[in-house]
Amino acid sequence: MGWLSLAIETRCDLAESLADALMDAGALSASIEDADAGTEAETPQFGEPGSVTTPGWERSRVIALLASDANAAAILGEAAAAIGLAEIPAWTTDLVEEQDWVRLTQAQFEPIRVSERLWIVPSWHEAPDPEAIVLVLDPGMAFGTGSHPTTRLCLEWLEREVRPGDSLLDYGCGSGILAIAAARLGATSVSGIDIDPQALIAARDNAEANHVTATFIEAAEPLTTPAGYDIVVANILANPLRALAPALVGHVRPGGHLALSGILSEQADELIACYAPWISLGVADTRDGWVCLAGRRAD
């Protein structure tokens, strides 16, 4: 049966209102993308909070999904009138064939080899190496599937540093992948913190799927190891890592280790200086312009 995809190029300041109006006029979904994507004029819109001063793209493309028998011209005309456009903007349509979207999506996610003995494997795949430590993880709403360089840096660091019996806190746990990896590597008291309720749900489900014991709580809840952890790891971004410095260091027991990721190479020196009053950090590893900083708190 399929669907009809309606594409309209428009200005940045009109894109959001046009997308909303298309939904009101009967579109099944509507999204906004960079009309210059894939060219030299492409404008990145990802980064830390505050780094994007003008959200959206000067040349935006609104993509609306319609029923296959929908009248695209009528829907666009109604939407254009609703937001006060004098003329209907230029538009094109394409047929979107019906497919097995679940199978198509799953095909995009293959097992990821993190190291010699650590693999991340979606639940619909067999483990490529039966002798490896396998983290069963499906892509979902929470950040952390193992494909991003910052997650890989943390996983590699954890494999080197976690010792049997260690306690660990994953601050900003997302999918829970770092906490789960630590538990599979031998940590016995593992906790995760996040401000996103969906992330906590995902982390708990992932821990259950991996048959590990870990506690995932909201930031306002009391920690299970109030005296401090052997390892604290935070894969966030440089801005929140700066703001959280006293709190993160405070969760590390004397003699314990702190690892920070989500930091661009050019931000490393500033973060090292920020944490210097409490702990001496150094670059543990780098990957694709990102760094992992790590250090040991004095006894």
Assess whether 207 and 283 both reside in one domain.
yes
The answer to whether 96 and 3 have CB atoms below 8 angstroms apart is yes
Q: What is the 3-state secondary structure (H, E, C) of 98-134?
A: CCCHHHHHHCCCCCEECCCCEEEECCCCCCCCCCCEE
- The tokens 């993190």 sit on which residue? 114
Assess whether 82 and 207 both reside in one domain.
no
Number of domains in the chain: 2
Assigned domain for 105 exists? no
* Domain containing residue 91: 3-98
Assigned domain for 250 exists? yes
Each residue's pLDDT tens digit, 101-142: 555 555 556 778 888 788 888 877 777 777 788 888 876 655
Assess whether 116 and 237 both reside in one domain.
yes
Each residue's pLDDT tens digit, 9-58: 998 899 999 999 999 999 999 999 988 877 877 776 554 444 444 456 88
Q: Where are the alpha helices (DSSP H) in the chain?
A: 12-24, 72-82, 101-106, 149-161, 177-184, 197-209, 238-243, 245-250, 268-275
pLDDT (average), residues 142-153: 76
Each residue's pLDDT tens digit, 190-230: 999 999 998 899 999 999 999 999 999 998 787 766 779 99
Domain end (from 98, 126, 147): 98
- Using DSSP's 3-state secondary structure scheme, residue 244 falls into coil
Q: What pLDDT does 44 receive? A: 64
Q: What pLDDT does 281 receive? A: 97
* Angle of CA points 190, 251, 246, to nearest 5°: 145
Distances (CA, A) of 233 to 38, 49, 163, 167, 173: 35, 21, 15, 11, 9
Assess whether 200 and 284 both reside in one domain.
yes
b/e code 154-178 from CB counts within 10 Å (16+ = b): bbbbbbebbeeebbbbbbbbbbbbb
CA nearest to 61, candidates 36, 38, 32: 32
180 has a pLDDT exceeding 50: yes
CATH code at position 41: 3.30.70
Assess whether 61 and 179 both reside in one domain.
no
Assess whether 61 and 164 both reside in one domain.
no
Assess whether 209 and 128 both reside in one domain.
yes
Assigned domain for 271 exists? yes
Assigned domain for 104 exists? no
Q: Which residues carry a binding-site annotation?
A: 151, 172, 194, 235
Assess whether 15 and 134 both reside in one domain.
no
Q: Which residues carry a binding-site annotation for S-adenosyl-L-methionine?
A: 151, 172, 194, 235
Assigned domain for 72 exists? yes
State the average pLDDT for the chain.
Answer: 87
